[in-house]
Structure 1
Amino acid sequence: MLFYVFLIITAVALFYIVTCYFISGTIIYLDRQPVPKNPGNYGLDFEDIIFTTSDQVEIKGWLIPGSSNKLVIITHVGGLTKYGSTREFKSISKLYNKEIEFLKVARHLHSQGYGVLMFDFRNHGESDPSPNGGKAGVGLEEYLDVVAAMQFIANRDDLRSKNIGFVSFCMGANSTIVAMSKEPAVFKDVKCMVAIQPISMAVFIRTYLGKLFTPVGAKLLLPLVSKFVAWRGKYPLEKMSPAGFAQDIKVPTMYVQTKNDPWTELSDIKGFYAETPAPKEFFWIEGTKHRFEGYQYFGQQPAKMLEWLEKWM
């Protein structure tokens, strides 16, 4: 009898350890999806661009010319690409299986005269892996790619005089906020930002595990997941957040959040908003049930985004 009890306890312990190890891997090593379409598929002229970060990562992107002196940089969600997300890509860690197309956002911007710069973060899409073995920082590492994009603009005669704005999604928003804090001089020509659903990774994992394993299960799993992330990754889970950096934002910022997002605590983004100096605005996306629907919102209903950009650019 004791032998069987021992076997059950051992099996449960192994399941617990393996599950936590697997979850930590999905945080550190984000999905690398393909890039199935380019701006040409949306009727947009574009240029393939390449630039290199300060730690020698080659970043690949697109430059869509505009008819005005305004240029918007779109930064994407972790685990997605500059295109977005394709249903054709299958992964056990993929969280949403509908098409997400950031190029629809770019098309709306282009129709209003904006130029658009889009790129794949390191370890994503067509860009190179990071020198740390492809480990993500959910903004703490990827901010270097945003800085490099700004330096690419500064080095181009046809771009350096542009008024610049950001439309930044999730990890892209984290990365932009961190970059603005760490390298403020690089962002002196930026006029405004739209920050869609930036997030603290610890909050995301806690709420996600709570939905998957119940809140009690999340409380049991999270401590070991955090330990594995700290051991296997470059940054502790609790540090993967724009908290503490948002206070250094020097441009008008509109935060955007789906109100019924089951994978966050709304106090998280409200905290970033409170930390951010004015001028600022908060826009709630109503009537959605999934966090990822918020990433499609401006591709379908761009009015609020365009209004904010027009006001400040």
Structure 2
Amino acid sequence: MSKFLFFLLGFILFLPLLNLLLGLHPLTFKTDVDPSHFGLAYEPVEFTTADHLVIRGWFIPASPSAPTPTQKSLKTIPTIVVGHGYPFDKANILRHVLFLHQRFHLLLMDFRYFGESEGWITTVGIREPLDVKAALDYLNQRGDIDTTRIGAMGFSMSAAIFVLTQDPRIRAIVADSPYASLAKIVEHQYFFVPRPLNNFMVNLTGLYARMLFGLEMDHASPEKTVHTLETPLLLIHGEDDSQIQTDHSQAIFTNANQTHTTLWLIPGADHGQAHAIAGFHYELRVLDFFTAHLN
């Protein structure tokens, strides 16, 4: 009996540590495409964060089909910063945002650790707002875009990151399947243990993150910070999401300023399937949202 209890205690103490290490240093998936695969001109770009990491991305200038834009008209076109999900890269999301290209410049970025960017760990939203701020600083320095008309579109992890960033330079946010808090994500990962023990393991994961990496898990909680967000926000979530359940977006919506926040639930959509399920209606609603708030 004592051996069993010793094993159980070791399991309870070790599993949160293992989960943390795998979460911060996951296997990554790199997508072997770039904008040229879709016939798009683009510019590889890079910028440095406040904590000295080089973040890399693609700037894809808008190319409205008619009329052919002049350089002056190009400068008046809004720009959308696009973020990817965990544990993927900017190329993974490229196909899903091509519909934005006819109306907007696009800046697709690899968050720290992922894709072509630097970083030995991901913090899944705790420090990634620094990546977004560096991207906005870069756009401010270009001189060939309207820096008063910048939006952001994120998926899963990056959807939460854009909400967390709270930078007034972002004038509109589309958040597709964001998490409400990292703690809730970790809680779901321990679904197989009883509630009191689940809470203990979540707290222990947070303690390990703080002790070993100086990370405060509570700092990644869009549901807590969204009440101060003054940026128009469109939340999109699949009703059948098996990875980040619908209640995450619902919690963010409940705590948000209702005057400029909209929640759109899409029946039959699992994680990352909202665009595929809603199709043209998805594209039209996102385009209309950005057009309304960036003009």
What band does the TM-score fall into relative to the shorter chain? 0.7 to 0.9
Quick one: which amino acid aligns to residue 128 of structure 1? E
Structure 2: runs of 5+ lacking an equivalent = 64-73
* Cα-Cα RMSD: 2.6
2:162·2:173 contact (CA, 8 Å) conserved in 1?
no
Structure 1 segment 1-313 matched on structure 2, within 5 A: 5-67=1-63, 69-84=77-92, 102-110=93-101, 112-129=102-119, 134-161=120-147, 163-180=149-166, 183-184=167-168, 187=169, 190-199=170-179, 200-210=181-191, 213=192, 215-216=194-195, 218-219=198-199, 221-264=201-244, 266-277=246-257, 278-288=259-269, 290-294=270-274, 301-313=282-294
Range moving further from structure 2, 143-152 or 296-305: 296-305
For normalisation by structure 2, the TM-score amounts to 0.83
Aligned mates of 2:22, 2:234 — CA distance in 1? 29
Higher RCO (Cα < 8 Å, 6 or more apart): 1
CA distance in 2, matches of 1:75, 1:296: 18
1-side partners of 2:201 and 2:276: how far apart? Answer: 31
Q: CA deviation at 1:264?
A: 4.1
- Which amino acid is 1:71 matched to? T
Deviation at 1:219, TM superposition (A): 4.7
Provide Cα deviations, 1:107-146, integer angstroms capped at 9, x if missing partner: 1111x332111010111111011xxxx3433323010111
Aligned 8 A contact 1:174 1:198 in 2: yes
The CA distance in 1 between the partners of 2:186 and 2:277, in whole Å, is: 23
Contact 1:35 1:126 in 2 (8 A): no
Q: 1:37 to 1:77 in 2, by over 3 A?
A: same
- 2:275, 2:17 → 1: CA distance? 29
1:117 partner letter: L
Q: CA deviation at 1:294?
A: 4.1
Distance (whole Å) between structure 1 residues aligned to residue 31 and residue 245 of structure 2: 31
Judging changes above 3 Å, is the alpha-carbon distance between structure 1 residues 224 and 299 closer, same or farther for their aligned structure 2 residues? farther
Read off the aligned partner of 2:111 and give its amino acid letter: F
Aligned residues: 278
SS in 2 for 1:141: coil
| TM-score, normalised via structure 1 length | 0.79
Q: Deviations over 1:215-248 (max 9, x none)?
A: 5574564343333233223223333212332123
Q: Following the alignment from structure 2 to structure 1, what is the Cα–Cα distance between the partners of residues 153 and 12?
A: 39
Q: CA deviation at 1:305?
A: 1.6
Q: 2: CA distance between counterparts of 1:18 and 1:157?
A: 51
**Structure 1, gaps ≥5 residues long:** 85-101
Q: 1:147 to 1:239 in 2, by over 3 A?
A: closer
